[in-house]
Structure 1
Amino acid sequence: MAQVVWRAADRYRGGEAEAGIETRHAFSFSGFYDPGNVGFGLLVACNEERLAPGAGFAQHPHRDIEIVTWVLQGELEHRDSAGRDAVVRPGDVQRLGAGSGVRHTERNAGSGPLRFVQMWLVPGAFGTEPEYEVVRGIADNTPFALPRTEAVLHVRRLADGERTAVPDAAFGYVHVARGQALLDGGDTVLHEGDAARLTDPRERELCARGGAELLLWEMHAEPRYG
């Protein structure tokens, strides 16, 4: 049973400050490459994004990747080449299954700051039909099973002192979206923006300290290419 804690301060810095975009990468991404940190389980990106009002990403392509977005503050507008248009708000889960290929834009559609976490996972099948969905106001303890993968997202919003188990899987990924949490009630404190990468995380738990919002990935496989 192994664990690696990746602190918020150690995330790779990206984005374009002059364009109102600030990004923090948990894994190798774009111009940042570390051969020892290219992914964990099926997860190959976990980006914290902050966009100023009106700022965003111009139309760009994706292929054979599953993109899951969790908004923490503000309103994220999505538009894609299939004609889909949606605004994603806090509490919503957005999924873009790029499949055989899709182009999309993302921007801050609100009048205030936008903050979101975007996570990319490798699918179990390639060249499939592109898919898109938004689950509105996902409830605590409601698992979101990612289609075409062996991965499940769990959202936990915990009061001070409240506990939750880490889902049992070959790979467990914990991202602290807000607040703080203790891992296994011990000395490992996860602060906002920190993440824990857990191998075979059975019988492990998290305890909120002062309240916490957690994104927990349950992954049962590693990427299979070809």
Structure 2
Amino acid sequence: MTVFPPTPTVDVRRADERSVTDIAWLDSKHSFSFGGHYDAGNTHHGVLLVNNDDIVRPGSGFDTHPHRDMEIVTWVLQGSLVHQDSEGHNGVIYPGLAQRMSAGTGIMHSEKNDSWRLRGDAPHDEPVHFVQMWVVPDEPGIAPGYEQLEIEGELLAGGLVPVASGMAKHDGASAIRIKNRYAALHAARLRPGQSVELPEAPFLHLFVPRGAVTLEGAGALGTGDAVRFTATGGQRVTATEPAEILVWEMHAAIAA
């Protein structure tokens, strides 16, 4: 990774510009190159490589598959997602619960929308909607790990809340820890008229997974829109309807 002061830019990426994987059980929209959707000019921003906006249909999901040397953060917006991995971790992720998986030297895991089995009633038709984000770790070959943390109370209190961080300034905060000391993920739930101020950093990534907001100096953003900032920050984001935002603050970038 490199740390340097890039040229100030505010790059708005609209929802319909994303590549899409739409199959029988999955509707996935990719902010960056992913899988068979490759664009050499759109591989990452800062240390963020993946920002997938996924809807998984009931009774379906990702079968067991491998990951390596990646910090994976999952944020559920609707429904529940069942996680199981080869290190013996398992859990149900739901709105307000942050989850991090460190792939490290290698891990196998699955993610399923099978909450109807956990409730013990008849199958239902509720999809699970979540955003999955990948950042590179500080160094390869770390031990695999898993963490989840309830932060619903902090979100209800308002403001921009640290969700996942490896930065020293968030030590002691209610946030899951990631193995990248240059990066932090923040979230906010906003009612119409409420606003938050973005942090200042060499790299920021703002994503609107639902609702509508205005960004100071850039105008209206809707569901699925994103903004990539370099060498800037401090702008205000104001909700024009009930909205949720995810903001990556990054003080380094992947070396070219």
Tell me the secondary structure at the aligned position of residue 201 of structure 1. Answer: strand
1:169 aligns to what?
201
Question: Paired residue for 1:142, among 143, 150, 161?
Answer: 161
Paired residues of 2:48 and 2:133 also in contact (CA < 8 A): yes
Tell me the secondary structure at the aligned position of residue 16 of structure 2. Answer: helix
1:28 aligns to what?
33
Correspondences of 1:32-181 after superposition (within 5 Å):
32-110=37-115, 111=124, 112-138=126-152, 139-140=154-155, 141-143=160-162, 144-146=164-166, 147-149=178-180, 150-181=182-213
Paired residues of 2:203 and 2:228 also in contact (CA < 8 A): yes
Deviation at 1:69, TM superposition (A): 0.6
1:12-53 Cα offsets, whole Å, 9 max, x none, are 0114x22x1111101000001101000000000100111111
Query: Does residue 245 of structure 2 align to residue 214 of structure 1?
Result: yes
Question: Paired residue for 1:5, among 8, 12, 15?
Answer: 12
Paired residues of 2:79 and 2:128 also in contact (CA < 8 A): yes
Whole-angstrom distance in 1 between the partners of 2:179 and 2:90: 23
Deviation at 1:55, TM superposition (A): 0.7
The one-letter amino acid paired with 2:83 is H
Deviation at 1:203, TM superposition (A): 2.5
Query: Does residue 232 of structure 2 align to residue 204 of structure 1?
Result: no
Deviation at 1:201, TM superposition (A): 2.3
Unpaired segments of 5 or more residues in structure 1? none
Identity %: 41
Residues 170 and 82 of structure 1: is their aligned pair in 2 closer, same or farther, counting only changes over 3 Å?
A: same
The one-letter amino acid paired with 1:43 is L
Whole-angstrom distance in 2 between the partners of 1:209 and 1:28: 30
Whole-angstrom distance in 2 between the partners of 1:94 and 1:187: 31
Whole-angstrom distance in 1 between the partners of 2:10 and 2:205: 10
Whole-angstrom distance in 1 between the partners of 2:110 and 2:252: 30
Deviation at 1:160, TM superposition (A): 1.0
CA RMSD after TM alignment? 1.4
Whole-angstrom distance in 2 between the partners of 1:73 and 1:202: 29
The number of residue pairs the alignment matches comes to: 222
The one-letter amino acid paired with 2:15 is A
User: Structure 1 length normalisation: TM-score?
Assistant: 0.94
Deviation at 1:202, TM superposition (A): 2.7
User: Structure 2 length normalisation: TM-score?
Assistant: 0.83
The one-letter amino acid paired with 2:26 is I
Tell me the secondary structure at the aligned position of residue 201 of structure 2. Answer: coil
Whole-angstrom distance in 2 between the partners of 1:133 and 1:187: 36
Paired residues of 2:81 and 2:92 also in contact (CA < 8 A): yes
Whole-angstrom distance in 2 between the partners of 1:8 and 1:129: 36
